[in-house]
Structure 1
Amino acid sequence: MSAAPRVERLDAAGRATVGECPVWHAGEASLYWVDIPARRIVRLEVASGRRSEWAMPEQVACFAFDRDGTVLAGLESGLFAVTLEGADATTRPLAAPDFAADGMRFNDGRCDRQGRFWAGTMLQDMSLASTAGALYRFDANGTLSSPIVDGLVTQNGLAWSPDGTTLYLSDSHPTRRLIWAFDFDIETGTPHNRRVFADLHHYSGRPDGAAVDADGCYWTCANDAGKLLRFTPQGRLDREIAVPASKPSMCAFGGSDFDTLFVTSIRPGANANDDDGHVFALRPGVKGLPEPLYAGRLSVA
């Protein structure tokens, strides 16, 4: 096995409380991500180190771009179209689920290979271990589905195989720590044949945000363990990479050749180390795939 890659802390990115949802914007050569409790979308122009941020009206946990550069974001109360112009952001509500309980919000989300946006919900008070969370699909026509997968505590880990026929989903709550795989009908956007892909009770940490590389391997952030774990399509752990942050939260491939893996992290209050909450970059020796754009049109003519 090759030597462990060097992990670089991107100090120009600043420090988040709950950094999540890194997305590489190839046209801008920039990394975007969110700080959930700070209600911020953040951008780092990697070459220059220039950092920008935009305030949201609610906590923002996940997002994707459409082909016009408008953002589709999962906030507390629902899905919103967000236009980032200069230092200002404007938001427009799109759809909202019938939340199963008070105190919920969207969590992890991204587009499938066909450009449908998927996002899950969770009860913000994780100590209750509530199974009120669910996974939803927002199609190119702007229609939000009823729950596709329900009974989730802390939905996470959304990713698709390179050909789009396998959907990955995890539950990162300490009582679950599971990653599932589904067969995925790319025509209808329907997952079926759910099975356990990896049980992190047998490894370390909790499965948080994830990415799939060009070889079809699934990378998950092992929250609380300070590691990235890579599983083959057969569910076999074949790589572990330590990162300085104790709570890595999500990873995404980017850079000019998609050979850089960016990692966000969480700063856990009084127990935080000096690296927690920062963004990191490493070159793991494999390439990723461009993040799919939302197939609908969010901008208002």
Structure 2
Amino acid sequence: MSAAVRAERLDAAERATVGECPVWRVQEDALYWVDIPARSIIRLEIERARRTEWAFDEQVACVAFDKAGRVVAGMESGVFAVTLSDTGDARAAKLAAPSFPATGMRFNDGRCDRQGRFWAGTMVQDMSLASPAGALYRFNEKGVLSAPVVDGLITQNGLAWSPDGTTMYLSDSHPQRRIVWAFDFDPDTGTPGPRRVFADLHHYTGRPDGAAVDADGCYWTCANDAGRLLRFTPRGELDREIALPASKPSMCAFGGGDLKTLYVTTIRPATNATDDDGYVFALNPGVQGLPEPEYAGMLPVA
């Protein structure tokens, strides 16, 4: 079950405070991710080891691309269209915003489903409050933000879809939850059915943070606080465990020309951080990933 796979630290990526939401952009042979408290989106062109960073006025938590290379992002106050330039300039325009039920909230984990709808969840940033005010939202191809699709979340995370798009995965990574759920998903309407427990990490290790699904339909979750990647089969059985140099992996994404490299962002803890915490890591887990879906709507030029 445990796999001896070496994870390589990408020093050219530089260190983040809360690295999140890695996205492989095939057209650029580049990895994108965010540093939430730094209010930034970062790109690393892998072969050139060239790093570009774009700064914003508020925190950026999750991003996806449209076919034109523009970005849809879940930020502090809503869903934004973002335009990035190669010179490091960036512009953002708010497209929609939920009615936050509590103060101190922001978007957290998000990505597109197989049909190109952008999904993102919210959370109360002060995790010590354990507030279940978070919810999951759908931003469709027409630019309409839904009412809460799933509510009662403390720390929304782990959003992913099966290869055929008929199963949606979602986790709550708060220490009081540590659950990954699965939902039967209607690809035509973008509607999930009732949730069921897919993996309870109280029986394993760590907290289920960001995730990715491979071409075999297996679900990879970052076991935050445990320095592990855990791979669950579509039946919810743990079949692989990979140790990482950093204690707080936050999200993973497949990339590289053959989609066989797994990139992992990490968080640098406020205390007792190691030299590896906060970096991006790359490893070859021996399986292939899936292309990241693009947003199907028409984003305006910000």
Instruction: Please give the range of the TM-score, normalised by the shorter of the 2 chains.
Output: over 0.9
Q: 8 Å contact 2:64–2:111 — kept in the other structure?
A: yes
Q: Residues of 2 paired with 1:68 and 1:229: CA distance?
A: 34
Deviations 1:227-285 (A, max 9, x none): 00000000000000000000000000000000000000000022111100000000000
Aligned length: 301
**Unaligned stretches of 5+ residues in structure 1:** none
Q: Residues of 2 paired with 1:243 and 1:300: CA distance?
A: 39
1:74 equivalent to 2:74? Answer: yes
Q: CA deviation at 1:173?
A: 0.1
Q: Residues of 2 paired with 1:238 and 1:135: CA distance?
A: 28
Match of 2:166 in 1: 165
Please list, as runs of the form range in 1=range in 2, the aligned pairs for 1:88-107 lying within 5 A after superposition: 88-107=89-108
Please list, as runs of the form range in 1=range in 2, the aligned pairs for 1:1-301 lying within 5 A after superposition: 4-85=4-85, 86-300=87-301
Q: CA deviation at 1:4?
A: 1.7
Q: Residues of 1 paired with 2:80 and 2:3: CA distance?
A: 43
Q: Residues of 1 paired with 2:2 and 2:207: CA distance?
A: 25
The one-letter code sitting in structure 2 at the alignment partner of 1:260 is: T
Q: CA deviation at 1:2?
A: 8.8
Q: 8 Å contact 1:28–1:45 — kept in the other structure?
A: yes
Q: Residues of 1 paired with 2:141 and 2:163: CA distance?
A: 20
SS in 2 for 1:175: coil
Q: CA deviation at 1:210?
A: 0.0
SS in 1 for 2:128: helix
Q: CA deviation at 1:3?
A: 5.2
Q: CA deviation at 1:299?
A: 2.7
**Unaligned stretches of 5+ residues in structure 2:** none
Q: 8 Å contact 2:30–2:44 — kept in the other structure?
A: yes
CA distance change for structure 1 residues 3 and 300 in 2, over 3 Å: closer, same or farther? closer
SS in 1 for 2:28: coil
Q: Residues of 2 paired with 1:271 and 1:155: CA distance?
A: 25
The one-letter code sitting in structure 2 at the alignment partner of 1:255 is: G
The one-letter code sitting in structure 2 at the alignment partner of 1:102 is: T
Q: 8 Å contact 1:68–1:299 — kept in the other structure?
A: no
The one-letter code sitting in structure 2 at the alignment partner of 1:79 is: V
Q: Residues of 2 paired with 1:6 and 1:210: CA distance?
A: 19
CA distance change for structure 1 residues 297 and 240 in 2, over 3 Å: closer, same or farther? same
Q: CA deviation at 1:48?
A: 1.1
Q: Residues of 2 paired with 1:189 and 1:113: CA distance?
A: 10
Q: Residues of 2 paired with 1:138 and 1:93: CA distance?
A: 13
SS in 1 for 2:271: helix
Considering only aligned residues, what root-mean-square deviation do their CA atoms show, in Å? 1.0
Q: CA deviation at 1:145?
A: 0.1
SS in 2 for 1:271: coil
- Percent identity between the two aligned chains: 77
Q: Residues of 2 paired with 1:242 and 1:170: CA distance?
A: 21
Q: 8 Å contact 1:261–1:282 — kept in the other structure?
A: yes
The one-letter code sitting in structure 2 at the alignment partner of 1:159 is: A
SS in 2 for 1:285: coil
